[in-house]
Amino acid sequence: MENENATPSFINHAVKHALILGGISVVLTLAAYAIDYTLLASMSFGFLSLAIYLGYGIYAGINYRNEIGGYLSFGKAFQHGFVVFALSALISTIFTILLYTVIDPELPAKVTEVAVENAAKMMEGFGMPEEQMEEALAKTTEDTAKRYTVGGLAMGYGFSLIGCAIFALISGAIAKKKEPETF
């Protein structure tokens, strides 16, 4: 009977925080787009976004633990984190599809161009020979352009579920707290 009461609380809490994290993702993407769309192809912006997502996921897990009495198993903490991350990633993917197909259909080509330029600078920094660099950049251009299609973004969501699981493992490990054993 106790489990029946915990389940809705679990789902409600996880969905609420997934919606908040999805909203944060949308706001971050919109801010980057409004400030300078090249940020969308920036590794530093990507790392900042990932740090914010993970940090919020940890906060949500600890908040859930505190809300249910201060103790949370790793399994439940992992499940909570996974729901938060996977649902927020879905929200982010849907928004990105809207951004790239409805709001600014030319954005994928512009972001691809920036990503290829960034890759070229990195290859030059590594001292890659010109011939190899041209071949690699042609492949990078093709792969990056595919990534920004609706199908590519949808497939990217599928792959992002692996990242969601990793983030859920991390946040679950931090949010878990065993009840003290009584003798």
Residue 183 is assigned to a structural domain of this protein: no
Within-domain flag for 21: yes
**Over its length of 183 residues, how does the chain's per-residue pLDDT go in tens digits?**
344 444 458 999 999 999 999 999 999 999 999 999 999 988 899 999 999 999 999 999 999 999 999 999 999 999 999 999 999 999 999 999 999 999 999 999 999 888 888 888 888 888 888 888 888 888 888 888 888 889 999 999 999 999 999 999 999 999 999 988 877
Q: How far is CA 168 from CA 17, 50, 106, 143, in A?
A: 13, 13, 34, 28
Residue 41 falls within a domain, yes or no? yes
Query: Is the distance from CB of 177 to CB of 65 less than 8 angstroms?
Result: yes
- Whether residue 5 contacts residue 68, with contact meaning beta carbons closer than 8 Å, is answered with no
Return the amino acid letter for 140. Answer: T
The predicted structure's pLDDT at residue 143 = 84
Domain assignment present for 34: yes
Residue ranges in the chain assigned as alpha helix (H): 2-35, 43-67, 74-98, 107-125, 130-147, 150-175
At 101, is the secondary structure helix, strand, or coil? helix
> Do the domain assignments include residue 59?
yes
Collapsing DSSP to helix, strand or coil, 72 comes out as: strand
Domain that holds residue 42: 2-175
In this structure, is residue 54 part of a structural domain? yes
Distances (CA, A) of 67 to 3, 70, 123: 15, 7, 50
Question: Is residue 107, in this structure, part of any structural domain at all?
Answer: yes
Count the domains in the chain.
1
pLDDT the model gives residue 8: 56
30-73 pLDDT, tens digit per residue, is 999 999 999 998 889 999 999 999 999 999 999 999 999 999 99
Q: Domain for residue 181, yes or no?
A: no
A 10 A CB-CB count for 39 gives 20
**pLDDT score recorded for residue 118:** 84
